[in-house]
Amino acid sequence: MTDYNNPKHILDSSSIKEGSVKWRSPSNIALIKYWGKHGNQLPNNASISFTLTNAYTETLISYKTRNTSTASGQINFFLDGKSREDFRDKIVKNFQKLDAIFPFLKQLDFTIHSHNSFPHSAGIASSASSMSALALCLCSMESYFFGTLQNIEDFRRKASYVARLMSGSASRSIFSKMALWGKTSADQDSSNEYAIPYEDKIHDVFKHFHDDILIVRKGEKSVSSRAGHQLMEDNIYAPVRYRDAEKKMVQLISALQKGDVTLVGKITESEALTLHALMMTSTPSYILMEPNTLILIQKVQNFRKETKTPLYFTLDAGPNLHLLYPDQYKESVKDFIKSELVQYCEDAFWIEDEVGDGPVQL
Ligand code: PMV
């Protein structure tokens, strides 16, 4: 077990600095999904994702010596310039979870400004990008205060570990192109505690993959991912699911290495439908797909059959369809989206995205 707790990371009160740190971190889209967890945010199966480019969060943390007249450190949080108490409360809880890892957090007051590149109401999960951005900022602060984490691999591993404690999928956003999180027999370096980089283990064709996101419905989903993970505890299909996920991971990793786009596409679509089948077989049962999600799935499958284009879909825990395909098909797929698919999107809204290089410090 990795132990990142460090009681020595306390600032000398005479030298506490005032300063700021800023990171941009992208969202990611899982091919094998993380659904169900145990212990302290540990996954019940391994997951693997593409790191995206255009869907990202920028987070600026400004810190200064804590105002000792207040009982605990103060945190102000602004999303796109607007104060948001709901997000602030989540950050307060997350900082409490990280108390033993970053004891210096208690010594500081914070003002945090965050901005998502996509509209907050677009129905795109922002936890992967926002929690990874936050984790990177905290690791940068530690590095600056104590001179630790100088090695980039150590830095990223810790950022992934810390991001995981706040949102499991966020652990994967730390790395360029692709990341794998969770112990699997398919990779001896894999871990339940942090994600590992996968860029060097995949065929070039996947490093330039596209992910266009068709927004079927904007707005908050009716059942949160947190509740969804919890419902897996009593899902009668859960044991079968975890075995199936492991089997698919072994096949997928081999297909990713070989550049077998067809097999990667097939496994990815099967995973998306399995995720939603697990929701439908939970107690209580729920459905996050919309009628237009199904229409779009059929259109994509027909287009693939008729044109022989390797265009595949996946879904997150919501109704929006992600379209995955190699770079060389970008013109024809975008024409297809504009002529046949946008009418099934809310307000004809869709987001063009692609596999990207991971977070940047700003
Ligand atoms: O990281 P969480 O707790 O928001 O869960 C994310 C779960 C899925 O997005 C549905 C799958 C995944 O692996 O990203």
Same domain, 218 and 140: no
Pocket test for ligand 1, best of 172, 178, 213, 225 (most atoms within 8 A of CB): 225
161 and 215 fall within a common domain: no
For the Cβ of 320 lying below 6 angstroms from any atom of ligand 1, the answer is: no
* Least-confidence region, from 65-79, 166-180, 265-279, 332-346: 65-79
Domain coverage including residue 214: 204-351
Distance 258 CA to ligand 1 centre (A): 27
Domain identity same for 54 and 198: yes
127 lines ligand 1 (CB under 6 A): yes
State whether the beta carbon of 47 lies less than 6 angstroms from ligand 1: yes
Q: How far is the CA of 103 from the centre of ligand 1 (A)?
A: 28
User: Do 141 and 209 sit in the same domain of this protein?
Assistant: no
Residue 6 or 173, more confident? 173
170 CA to centre of ligand 1 in angstroms: 8
- Domain end call among 202, 220, 237: 202
Which of 48-52, 67-71, 190-194, 252-256 comes out lowest in average pLDDT? 67-71
pLDDT at 128: 95
Of 146, 179, 202, the last residue of a domain is 202
Whether residue 299 sits in one domain with residue 256: yes
pLDDT at 327 > cutoff 70: yes
| pLDDT: which is higher, 197 or 70 | 197
Give the atom of ligand 1 at the shortest distance from the alpha carbon of 317: 10
- pLDDT, tens digit, for every residue of 214-225? 999 987 777 888
* Gap between the Cα atoms of 268 and 265, Å rounded: 5
Give the pLDDT confidence score for residue 152 in this predicted structure.
97
Question: Which of 187, 202, 217 is the last residue in one of the domains?
Answer: 202
Average pLDDT over residues 9-34: 91
Question: Residues 20, 162: one domain?
Answer: yes
Say how many Å lie between the CA of residue 351 and the centre of ligand 1: 19
Residues 186 and 222 in one domain: no
237 CA distance to ligand 1 middle (Å): 18
Flag whether 284 is in a domain: yes
Label residue 325 exposed, middle or buried (CB < 10 Å: 0-12, 13-18, 19+). buried
Mean pLDDT of 107-116: 94
pLDDT attached to residue 53: 97
Question: Could you identify the residue written with the tokens 């019940």?
Answer: 44
Residue 252 lies in a domain: yes
pLDDT, tens digit (0-9, with 9 covering 90-100), for 345-354: 999 999 999 9
* Ligand 1 centroid to residue 58 C-alpha, Å: 20
Q: Is the residue at 323 inside a domain?
A: yes
Give the model's confidence band at 243: pLDDT under 50 very low, under 70 low, under 90 confident, else very high: very high
Is residue 214 located within the same domain as residue 197? no
Whether 159 has a pLDDT exceeding 70, the answer reads yes
Residue 235 in this model has a pLDDT that exceeds 90: yes
Q: Each residue of 206-216: pLDDT tens digit?
A: 999 999 999 99
The reply to whether ligand 1 has any atom less than 6 angstroms from the CB of 50 is: no
Cα 127 to averaged position of ligand 1 atoms, centre (Å): 9
Best probe residue, ligand 1, of 25, 34, 129 (max atoms within 8 Å of C-beta): 34
Q: For position 65, what pLDDT does the model report?
A: 84
Q: How many residues does the chain have?
A: 362
* CATH at residue 324: 3.30.70.890
Average pLDDT over residues 115-143: 88
Average pLDDT, the chain: 94
- Residues 6+ positions from 219 with CB-CB distance below 8 Å: 121, 123
Domains of the chain: total: 2
Cα 168 to averaged position of ligand 1 atoms, centre (Å) = 7
Q: Is the CB of 34 under 6 A from ligand 1?
A: yes
CB of 169 sitting under 6 A from ligand 1: yes
Q: What is the position in ligand 1's atom list of the atom closest to the CA of 131?
A: 1
Domain assignment of residue 357, yes or no: no
Same domain, 60 and 171: yes
For residues 216 and 255, membership in a common domain is answered with yes
Structural domain contains residue 328: yes
CB of 33 closer than 6 angstroms to any ligand 1 atom: yes
The mean per-residue pLDDT over the stretch 94-105 comes to: 94
Query: For residue 165, what are the contacts with CB-CB under 8 A and spacing of at least 6?
Result: 40, 41, 94, 97, 98
Look at residue 220 in the predicted model and tell me its pLDDT.
74
pLDDT at 13: 72
Question: Does pLDDT of 336 surpass 90?
Answer: yes
Q: What is the pLDDT of residue 67?
A: 62
Reported as a single tens digit per residue, the pLDDT across 31-90 is 999 999 999 999 999 999 999 999 999 999 999 988 665 556 689 999 999 999 988 999
Reported as a pLDDT band with limits 50, 70 and 90, residue 123 is low
| Structure confidence at residue 70 (pLDDT) | 57
Is the residue at 90 inside a domain? Answer: yes
Per-residue pLDDT band for 124 (boundaries 50, 70, 90) equals confident
CA-167 nearest atom, ligand 1: 1
Same domain, 103 and 138: yes
Q: What pLDDT, on the 0 to 100 scale, is given for residue 8?
A: 87
Residue 1 lies in a domain: no
In a domain, 322, yes or no: yes
Nearest residue to 168 via CA among 346, 65, 356, 317 = 317
Q: Is the same domain home to 193 and 254?
A: no
Domain containing residue 149: CATH number: 3.30.230.10
